[in-house]
Chain A
Amino acid sequence: MNPGPRRFEEIAPGRWRLDKGAERGMAADAEVFASGAILRAALDDASIEQVINVACLPGLVGPALAMPDIHHGYGFCIGGVAAFAAVDGIVLPGGVGYDINCGVRLLASSIPATEFAPVRERVGHAILQRIPTGLTPRATTKLNKKEFQRVLSGGAREIVGNYAGTAADLEFIESGGCLPFDQPGVIGPRACERGSSQLGTLGSGNHFIEVQAVEEIFDPAAARLFGLEAGCIAVMIHTGSRGFGHQVASDYIETFRKRNLARLKLRDPQLVHAAVGSAEGRNYLQALNAASNFAWANRQLLQEDVLAILEEALGAGRETLGLRLVYDQAHNIAKIESHEVAGRPTDLLVHRKGATRALPPGHADIPAPYRAVGQPVLIPGSMGSSSYVLRGTAAGARLTFASSAHGAGRRLSRHQAVKLAGEIDVRQRLEKSGTLVCSLSSQGLKEEIPEAYKDIDDVVRVTVTSGISEKVARLRPLLVVKG
């Protein structure tokens, strides 16, 4: 099948390859995990162009990859994955995105959805009231310089140690919720200023807090280990490093431009990069770790707010309600990981932009209770549609540097979505289908209508048929709080 002018070959079900000889400048193959329809859409919205741009970068190890939720971004496409040698490769902010460590956290419970129903509205309003959401909200408390630096160094650990939550949570956060950061000088003052007033805030756009019902279990053994019980509620939180991560990314793009742009031949200036071992490359990786820690701290704080609201609404403590963290994972990040290359374990700097890590069963970095089944992979659907929990596989480890999709992936632009929504009352429409929506922005809701996104079932189908992850459970939204 040839779904477009570029001769992608389907080398295995759901796995399409464009040979590096296909286009001038390509130094590696491009591989897209997609159905025919998803690949055609990616050709139409120019995101394939962005995968090819990445395939032209120097020092790429393996192919330039795109996950099944591929869509147009800047620099990398969303759903883009690329690995470079950890010692003498390159690092690029355009391969991570501005919202560093944007990610998803999932909590399981033993609360039957029927018991949640009577308090749903109250919980929704309480979340909106307690958690700052929307355009540039300010946190209720601003951290002083010392407190802020401790958050940058400690991430979720700092929150658990000094603010809220339990140490048991840390095992269930990617990288333990903290990456090494010990050079405060690599962060600019404006980033600190933006960040110190935004910890514990949700943000706007596609960020959300959802209460969901576990509707279908596909893999009972894995679901049991993850604590997911059919008919019970789960909580999903999607947000990132807020203005802090954006400022870090912007600052380092400027630094990389000043130092390197003139000597680089780039198809897109957003792909400006530096050697991993250069001063600016090392500094960016440190700053990236700080922003990642900020995001983990942010999601930890939001979790505690939501748990307190649920405890109050249901009149019981979290232990009684069986509320526990399933997993927290980043989907905009670059980290050094060990992967097998030509039969040998090799340290690589894996960039994931709108893609999740998906470690296979037995991997040492998976929480011990999950090690037998693989890392949980959280794939939120659009507002009003299902979300999925999957698990990493050995095939995924081999084919994608242990990466998977991160969401449904946008299909329509925001303008198109608003136009399509027209005069529809989005809240009313979703409520008819069983989802209560709480948001301060009607425009934001229209931009996020379900039709704006790809069919999550199609994205998950390809993810599974291509072998990069396995389905565990499907979750249906009961309450959506949008920024």
Chain B
Amino acid sequence: MRNYETFSTTADLGIRFRGRDFRELYGNALRGLNLILFGRNPRPRAGENAAVVFRFKGDGPENVLVNFLAAVLELAYREGKIVSAIDVHRADERRLEARLRFAPRRAAPRVEVKSTTYHNLRVSEKNGWLRAAIVFDV
């Protein structure tokens, strides 16, 4: 398995991702979502970068992931931004604190991701890797 990859269900799209710790897990979730939204080479507009520290909390890593990715979707659709980099300050199973660097996106997302679902979402650990898969409603 790659650190992040996309997959399809009959009606929807999803991402599989992994990390050796929560820092990597959350970061790879963002990269997977960006892959769905903007393809392999997301190109933010140059020179208009901003960075803001976000804090996401949850009752478990699944909840943190859904909250985090919902915020990324908000930035993409509502603000017209692409999150181009993530610098994780603190990450555990109930929290993600990270500086997100974002910039205006050059092109519209390739697909309308409407919601992040909890369908079969469970963060599990195997052979030293945390793994999860998220299905998006498109």
Chain A residues with CB under 8 Å of chain B are 45, 47, 71-75, 78, 94, 97-99, 135-136, 203-205, 243, 246, 249-250, 253-254, 257-258, 261-262, 268-270, 272, 410-416, 443
The answer to whether B70 and A250 have CB atoms under 8 Å apart is yes
What's the least CB distance linking B98 to chain A, in Å? 20
Among residues of A, the one whose C-beta sits closest to the C-beta of B67 is A254
The answer to whether B118 and A135 have CB atoms under 8 Å apart is no
The answer to whether B112 and A75 have CB atoms under 8 Å apart is no
The answer to whether B118 and A269 have CB atoms under 8 Å apart is yes
Question: Within the complex, which residue of B10, B59, B112 is in contact with A205, where a contact is CB–CB below 8 Å?
Answer: B112
The answer to whether B10 and A45 have CB atoms under 8 Å apart is yes
Cβ of A205: which chain B residues have Cβ within 8 Å of it? 112, 138
* B56 on interface, CB distance cutoff 8 Å: no
Question: What are the 7 tightest A-B residue pairs by CB atom distance, in nearest-first order?
Answer: A413-B8, A74-B119, A72-B10, A269-B118, A270-B119, A415-B8, A74-B117
* B93 on interface, CB distance cutoff 8 Å: no
* B122 on interface, CB distance cutoff 8 Å: yes
The answer to whether B9 and A413 have CB atoms under 8 Å apart is yes
With A205-B138, A258-B59, A261-B59 as contacts: A47 and B118 at CB distance below 8 Å: no
The answer to whether B119 and A75 have CB atoms under 8 Å apart is yes
With A98-B115, A135-B109 as contacts: A45 and B59 at CB distance below 8 Å: no
**Could you show 22 A-B contacts with beta carbons less than 8 Å apart?**
A45-B9, A71-B10, A72-B9, A73-B12, A74-B117, A74-B135, A75-B119, A98-B115, A99-B137, A135-B77, A135-B109, A136-B78, A136-B112, A204-B112, A205-B138, A250-B115, A254-B63, A410-B10, A413-B8, A413-B11, A414-B8, A443-B110
The answer to whether A269 and B122 have CB atoms under 8 Å apart is yes
Chain B residues with CB under 8 Å of chain A are 8-13, 59, 62-63, 70, 77-78, 108-112, 114-122, 135, 137-138
Among residues of B, the one whose C-beta sits closest to the C-beta of A72 is B10
Cβ of A416: which chain B residues have Cβ within 8 Å of it? 8
Cβ of B121: which chain A residues have Cβ within 8 Å of it? 269-270
Among residues of A, the one whose C-beta sits closest to the C-beta of B80 is A136
In whole angstroms, what is the CA distance A98 to B66 when docked? Answer: 15
Question: Within the complex, which residue of A47, A246, A411 is in contact with B137, where a contact is CB–CB below 8 Å?
Answer: A246
Cβ of A411: which chain B residues have Cβ within 8 Å of it? 10
In whole angstroms, what is the CA distance A257 to B114 when docked? Answer: 20
In whole angstroms, what is the CA distance A72 to B9 when docked? Answer: 7
The answer to whether A47 and B10 have CB atoms under 8 Å apart is yes
Cβ of B118: which chain A residues have Cβ within 8 Å of it? 74, 253, 257, 268-270, 272
In whole angstroms, what is the CA distance A411 to B10 when docked? Answer: 6
The answer to whether B59 and A257 have CB atoms under 8 Å apart is yes
The answer to whether A414 and B13 have CB atoms under 8 Å apart is yes
Among residues of B, the one whose C-beta sits closest to the C-beta of A354 is B11
Cβ of A254: which chain B residues have Cβ within 8 Å of it? 63
Cβ of A243: which chain B residues have Cβ within 8 Å of it? 114
What's the least CB distance linking B26 to chain A, in Å? 18
Among residues of B, the one whose C-beta sits closest to the C-beta of A97 is B137
In whole angstroms, what is the CA distance A268 to B62 when docked? Answer: 13
In whole angstroms, what is the CA distance A254 to B59 when docked? Answer: 10
Question: Within the complex, which residue of B11, B62, B78, B138 is in contact with A269, where a contact is CB–CB below 8 Å?
Answer: B62
Given contacts A270-B117, A410-B10, A413-B8, 12 further A-B contacts (CB under 8 A): A45-B10, A74-B9, A98-B114, A98-B115, A99-B114, A99-B137, A135-B109, A135-B112, A136-B78, A205-B112, A205-B138, A414-B111
Cβ of A97: which chain B residues have Cβ within 8 Å of it? 137
Cβ of B114: which chain A residues have Cβ within 8 Å of it? 98-99, 243, 246
In whole angstroms, what is the CA distance A203 to B108 when docked? Answer: 15
Cβ of B63: which chain A residues have Cβ within 8 Å of it? 254, 257
What's the least CB distance linking B74 to chain A, in Å? 9
In whole angstroms, what is the CA distance A478 to B111 when docked? Answer: 26
Cβ of A204: which chain B residues have Cβ within 8 Å of it? 112
In whole angstroms, what is the CA distance A443 to B62 when docked? Answer: 31
Cβ of A47: which chain B residues have Cβ within 8 Å of it? 10
In whole angstroms, what is the CA distance A27 to B59 when docked? Answer: 29
Among residues of A, the one whose C-beta sits closest to the C-beta of B6 is A415
Cβ of A250: which chain B residues have Cβ within 8 Å of it? 70, 115-116
With A268-B119, A414-B13, A443-B110 as contacts: A74 and B59 at CB distance below 8 Å: no
Cβ of A253: which chain B residues have Cβ within 8 Å of it? 118
In whole angstroms, what is the CA distance A89 to B117 when docked? Answer: 24
Q: Which of B112, B121, B138: most chain A Cβ within 10 A? A: B112
With A98-B137, A414-B138 as contacts: A73 and B11 at CB distance below 8 Å: yes
Among residues of B, the one whose C-beta sits closest to the C-beta of A50 is B119
Q: Which of A71, A253, A411, A414: most chain B Cβ within 10 A? A: A414
The answer to whether B120 and A78 have CB atoms under 8 Å apart is no
Question: Within the complex, which residue of A71, A135, A249, A258 is in contact with B11, where a contact is CB–CB below 8 Å?
Answer: A71
